[in-house]
Amino acid sequence: MTPTSSPVTGSARRLALLAAVAAVLATGAACRPPSPPSLAIDGMKIADMGVTGAVLDISLRMRNTDPNPLRIERFEYDLLVDGKKVGHGYYPQALDIAAFTEQKISSRFDLNFLALPGAVKSLFQKDKVAAEILGTYYIKQMGRLRGLPMQARTVVDLRKG
């Protein structure tokens, strides 16, 4: 047996190679973004109304479908009512959701009557509207903010809130 073909050296090399492959796979898994939480719109109600606009409280349910806790740094979204964009909303605070759990939150949304008179007027003339949220969740991953898609669609009974 030659010194370079020692069984101990070969085993040590295989172990080192396996350890290196495991490290690369673990790093790749750490870089994988978590699954975005599922989102449902529970309701919308008029919180305040003025001459030029109104404030809506939008009730949302977020469910973390990932096996790990999730911290959402913030999120922002567009609200569409009956297929028409009525504005842009956001949730500026961090939100922690434990693995496989659901959390209810409320987001304030400003409607400007002057910018969208037809869409806003139709919102107040109906009992039920088709509401859709399209946006982005922002999470920190490896020290950087990363966006995850955010989407929900439902029919909202405006009388319930």
**Poorest-confidence range of 18-32, 39-53, 56-70, 100-114?**
18-32
What is the fold of 34-157? Immunoglobulin-like (2.60.40)
Q: Closest by alpha carbon to 42, among 65, 62, 18?
A: 62
pLDDT at 67: 92
Where do the domains of the chain lie?
1-32, 34-157
pLDDT at 25: 46
Decide if pLDDT at 135 tops 90: yes
Indicate yes or no: pTM above 0.75. Answer: no
- What is the number of H-type helices and E-type strands within the chain? 2, 9
Helix (H) or strand (E) holding 85, with range, is strand 84-91
How confident is the prediction for the chain on average, in pLDDT? 81
Average pLDDT over residues 54-78: 92
Average pLDDT over residues 57-85: 92
pLDDT at 28: 47
Model pLDDT for residues 76-129, shown as the tens digit of each residue: 999 988 888 888 898 999 999 999 999 999 998 888 777 666 666 666 678 888
Percent of the chain with pLDDT strictly greater than 70: 75
pLDDT at 86: 83
Decide if pLDDT at 26 tops 50: no
**What is d(CA 158, CA 161) in angstroms, rounded to the nearest whole number?**
5
